[in-house]
Amino acid sequence: MLPTYPFAGRTYTYNPAAPLDISLPLAPGEDQVNCFWAEPVQFDTIRVGSFVGSVALGGSTNYQRIHVTPHGNGTHTECYGHISPDPAITLNQCLRRFLFVARLVSVAPRPQPNGDLVVMLADVQAALQQQPNRALPEALVLRTLPNEAAKRHRHYSGTNPTYIEPALAEWLVEYNIQHLLLDLPSVDREEDAGQLLAHHAFWQYSAQPRREATITELIFVPDEIEDGLFLLNIQITSLELDASPSKPVLYRLSLPAA
């Protein structure tokens, strides 16, 4: 018997032994995804007196320090603390549930008159209309097209990468979609004079902040994962920061055979 999960008045099954990891790993070196001029991830071996934290170097155990910038290195999840002056607004305090029903849709961004590539609300709506049982869940996973493998290693800084139009963020709020995941460095333009229109629209900050809402950036959804309905598990570290390296995992939801 497979476990079940209810959604939109129906009961779906999923296979917990068939996870679909859509995160990008954190590893040292230049050949890793990077954005917003963050330094590459670095692992340092701890040395104390005669102790060396490396078995390869003669130590009894491996013991390392990690240098990482959550917003710039690999897959990360953020809360509205990202745009708030209050240091008490942390992802660890805001994200208290970790399982959600999610829809995966694939959308090609549109070129704008200024040369930008933007994911448009109309295209996301059209992609959702093509799916059966179009009830909107708590989470939306956006895969941009073309889905190049280079996304796994791309250095985005200074390239003005694709972003979403603020109207899309506003629409997600209207339909109470709490979690947005996408394979881009940011929902907003790389350099927008600090406006962060999509961030502000999605979190409704500062009028009525959506405390439990999150944005997960720099995911990668392989081509073999087809658009549709999934159970989403957002895994984070318990850092008291506005963002954390994260590991979103999908499980395909299916209706039991009649």
Six token digits for residue 195:
């406006």
CA gap 65, 54 in Å, rounded: 12
Residue 61: how many CB atoms within 10 A of its CB? Answer: 10
Q: What integer pLDDT is reported at residue 106 of this predicted model?
A: 98
Q: What is the pLDDT confidence band of residue 258, given thresholds at 50, 70 and 90? A: low
Mind listing the pLDDT tens digit for each residue in 71-105?
Answer: 999 999 999 999 999 999 999 999 999 999 999 99
CB neighbour list of residue 149: distance below 8 Å, 6 or more residues apart: none
Closest CA to 179 of 74, 77, 70: 77
Q: What integer pLDDT is reported at residue 256 of this predicted model?
A: 87
Mind listing the pLDDT tens digit for each residue in 157-212?
Answer: 999 999 999 999 999 999 999 999 999 999 999 999 999 999 999 999 999 999 99
Angle (CA) 143-156-106 rounded to 5° is 10
Is 38 part of a structural domain of the chain? no
Q: What integer pLDDT is reported at residue 1 of this predicted model?
A: 86
Is 241 part of a structural domain of the chain? yes
Is 62 part of a structural domain of the chain? no
Is 49 part of a structural domain of the chain? no
Task: Measure Cα distances from 222 to 27, 104, 110, 163, 182 in Å.
Answer: 19, 12, 21, 20, 13
Give the side-chain half-sphere CA count within 13 A for 65: 7
**pLDDT, mean of residues 123-137:** 88
Q: What is the identity of the amino acid at 174?
A: E
Range of the domain at 183: 4-26+71-252
Q: What integer pLDDT is reported at residue 119 of this predicted model?
A: 98
Q: Are strands 99-107 and 139-144 parallel, antiparallel or unpaired?
A: parallel
- How many domains does the chain divide into? 1
Place of tokens 């939801």: 253
Q: Does 134 score more than 80 pLDDT?
A: no
Q: Does 257 score more than 90 pLDDT?
A: no
Place of tokens 């339909």: 175
Is 42 part of a structural domain of the chain? no
Say if residue 72 is exposed, middle or buried (CB neighbours under 10 Å; 0-12, 13-18, 19+): buried
Mind listing the pLDDT tens digit for each residue in 2-59?
Answer: 999 999 999 999 999 999 999 999 999 999 999 999 999 999 999 999 999 999 999 9
Write the CATH number for 161.
3.50.30.50
Closest CA to 44 of 26, 56, 28: 28
Buried/exposed code over 4-14 (b: 16+ C-beta within 10 A; e: otherwise): ebebeeeebbb
CA gap 104, 221 in Å, rounded: 9
Is 105 part of a structural domain of the chain? yes
Is 215 part of a structural domain of the chain? yes
